[in-house]
Structure 1
Amino acid sequence: MKVLKKKKMIFLLVLILFIFINNTTLLTNSAKQPTLLAHRGMAQTFDMKGVTGESCTAEKIHNPEHEFLENTIPSIKAAFNAGAYIVELDVHPTSDGEFVVFHDWTLDCRTEGVGVTREHSLKELKALDVGYGYTADNGKTYPFRGKGVGMMPTLEEVLQEFGGKQLMIHIKSNDPDEGRLLAAYLNNYPKETVNHLTVYGGDEPIAVLKSRMPDTKVMSKETLKSCLLPYIAIGWTGYLPESCTNTHLQIPEKIGPWLWGWPEKFVDRMEQKGTSTVIVGGNGSGFSSGFDTEADLDRLPDDYQGIIWTNKIEKIAPLIKEFK
């Protein structure tokens, strides 16, 4: 019995040592720099306190420090020029078969229009002022009113302008038909353009889009769970589930430490399978925040080498050069 007990103890110690060596980042020393994801391009930011899905964030902006409006061609261009590796944008279908780049489900907050965005034609949406509703002083002044007329771009215009850049497209609904429509839309573009795209959104449209565009990187709650849950169970071995191949992961900063090999080995394992890793602020419940200040960057692990989600690309890009 003593011999058997001793063998079990040795086996347990060897197993613990294997798990430690196979997942520790203490023995690695990568010089690779992290990269940046610019949320909505270069955008006006707002106070996150009290924000819900029904909030009009254009009425809560901070005092403007630049002239750019989210989800516009100038905004996206400015974000790439500032140092973004990838730019996130939001899309809606129009009533006449186009896709426009715009964040809100309804028009009432940011524009002078009213009603559900997708219930309007492209001509109607192109006539709107996307800077109409922005105010930093409770409506005393509207610094961008009149400056955003005709600036709601189509997805086609964005892809023509930035076809060789990394773009992350956000489907704003959970309508499976929207996944079908977007897949049909994107399949008209060259493979080299589509290969630079990531699409995320509700489980149903993402599942439909992935079935029609199997080589496209996608993300939804379901794809996250299908990768991360089995990885948590067996990732200590270094094995990656097939569901972690060629996909996209957004990892809340408080969840990351629970993942085997976090951060350096985890990011490297995913990259070897064609999967990108983005770290976002918070714990994954409610609205996740970006890394928007120097103090935010201080919370990152020193060896993080994946993609960082930011709402302040113009502030964070200069700092990231000194991150390592």
Structure 2
Amino acid sequence: MRKKLLVGTGMALSLLLSPFSQSFAEQPTVGERKQVSNVAHRGATAYTPENTIAAFDLAVDMKADYIEIDVQRSKDGELVLIHDTTVDRTTDGTGKVGDLTLEQLRSLDAGSWKGEQFAGEPIPTFQEILDHYHGKIGILIELKAPELYPGIEEQVAAALIERNLHKPQNEKIIIQSFNFESIKKMDQLLPKVPIGVLTSNRADTTLEALQEFSTYADWFNPSYGIVTEELVNQVHSLGMQIGSWTVRSQEAADFLFEMGVDAIISDYPDYVDPRN
């Protein structure tokens, strides 16, 4: 995909002032809801332990369009899936992810905290997830705290290139992060892979900030608490798409449908997809 060129301020402002479609004020139809990408946040995490095979398998069964995964690195340089920078919350172990070897990480129980039926669920590797799910469901890859893992961008890029996923079909691979410098690097390493900017900071929603993001990002992905119709219009006027997180209620999902976002990132894929 060719990255967007910076849109002039005048054009952006003129689009900002244009009236919204009446559809924003109406309840979305089933057909309109299907146009919004359904992203299972760390898998179907309302029902299963996050960032595990169980969570991703359920997301597939629930007809999500993407799974969202968090990528970090072990002490011995292996890419693994876990959200927190420590293993304390989601496993029976303790310590920083980057201080534990792959063997140590894989020996942990990453499922029992969610329910005994998930006992023994391991922490997956990045390569394992790519091999198991590409072609079955889209993968939204978040680089989690990449500043802790120098060179992780090159490792992620190499894993995708090895599997010929650096030229994704139908944009089914997206890479995002809260670390803007890391994402800029990913754009340089994988110019054909869509790039997303994550933020919960209102300072990142100014027209000036959005124009800067649009020079290297394809997606602007804010927390739903800062989403407005004006913001959605601004993002679209600059040639980007917008995906918002983290939805944990039907009311939040309905709000984002009404705002006209392009993707909804949710612990509950069934709140987003009318077929569930």
Provide the TM-score with structure 2 as the length reference.
0.73
Q: Which residue of 2 aligns with 1:229?
A: 207
Q: Percent identity?
A: 20
Q: Which residue of 2 aligns with 1:312?
A: 268
Contact 1:79-1:314 at 8 Å conserved across structures: no
Cα deviation for residue 199 of structure 1 reads 1.5
Aligned match of 2:44 in 42, 45, 49? 42
Cα deviation for residue 163 of structure 1 reads 0.8
SS for the counterpart of 1:207 is helix
Q: Which residue of 2 aligns with 1:183?
A: 157
How much is the aligned-residue C-alpha RMSD, in angstroms? 3.6
SS for the counterpart of 1:180 is helix
Corresponding letter in the other structure for 1:188: E
SS for the counterpart of 1:32 is helix
SS for the counterpart of 2:273 is helix
Q: Which residue of 2 aligns with 1:112?
A: 92
Cα deviation for residue 75 of structure 1 reads 1.0
Q: Structure 1: state its 5+ residue gaps.
A: 1-14, 45-65, 135-142, 233-239, 281-289
Q: Which residue of 2 aligns with 1:203?
A: 180
Cα distance in 1 between the residues matched to 2:123 and 2:73: 13
Corresponding letter in the other structure for 1:93: R
Q: Which residue of 2 aligns with 1:138?
A: none
1:32 maps onto 2:32 in alignment: yes
**May I ask how many residue pairs the two structures share in their alignment?**
249
Which structure has the greater CA radius of gyration?
1
Q: Which residue of 1 aligns with 2:6?
A: none
Cα deviation for residue 205 of structure 1 reads 2.4
Cα distance in 2 between the residues matched to 1:310 and 1:178: 26
Cα distance in 1 between the residues matched to 2:205 and 2:251: 31
Residues 228 and 126 (structure 1 numbering): CA distance in 2 closer, same or farther, change over 3 Å?
same
| Superposition map of 1:1-324 within 5 A | 19=14, 23-26=18-21, 32-33=32-33, 34-44=36-46, 66=47, 68-134=48-114, 143-144=115-116, 147-149=118-120, 151-164=122-135, 165-175=137-147, 176-191=150-165, 192-193=167-168, 195-201=171-177, 202-220=179-197, 229-230=207-208, 243=214, 247-253=218-224, 254-259=226-231, 261=233, 267=236, 273=239, 275-280=240-245, 290-300=246-256, 302=258, 304=260, 306-318=262-274
Deviation string 1:202-243 (CA, Å, 9 cap, x unpaired) is 123222222211222223369x988963487xxxxxxx8892
SS for the counterpart of 1:216 is coil
Structure having greater relative contact order (Cα 8 Å, sep ≥ 6): 2
Residues 96 and 80 (structure 1 numbering): CA distance in 2 closer, same or farther, change over 3 Å?
same
Q: Structure 2: state its 5+ residue gaps.
A: 1-9
Deviation string 1:69-106 (CA, Å, 9 cap, x unpaired) is 11112211211221211111111112233211112211
SS for the counterpart of 2:151 is helix
Contact 2:198-2:222 at 8 Å conserved across structures: no
SS for the counterpart of 1:89 is strand
Cα deviation for residue 188 of structure 1 reads 1.6
Q: Which runs of structure 1 show a deviation greater than 4 angstroms over 4 or more consecutive aligned residues?
A: 18-22, 27-31, 192-195, 224-228
Cα distance in 1 between the residues matched to 2:209 and 2:181: 23
Cα distance in 2 between the residues matched to 1:227 and 1:178: 27
Corresponding letter in the other structure for 1:35: S
Contact 1:23-1:261 at 8 Å conserved across structures: no
Residues 148 and 304 (structure 1 numbering): CA distance in 2 closer, same or farther, change over 3 Å?
same
Contact 1:129-1:151 at 8 Å conserved across structures: yes
Residues 150 and 229 (structure 1 numbering): CA distance in 2 closer, same or farther, change over 3 Å?
same
Deviates more, 1:249-258 or 1:71-80: 249-258
Cα distance in 2 between the residues matched to 1:80 and 1:219: 22
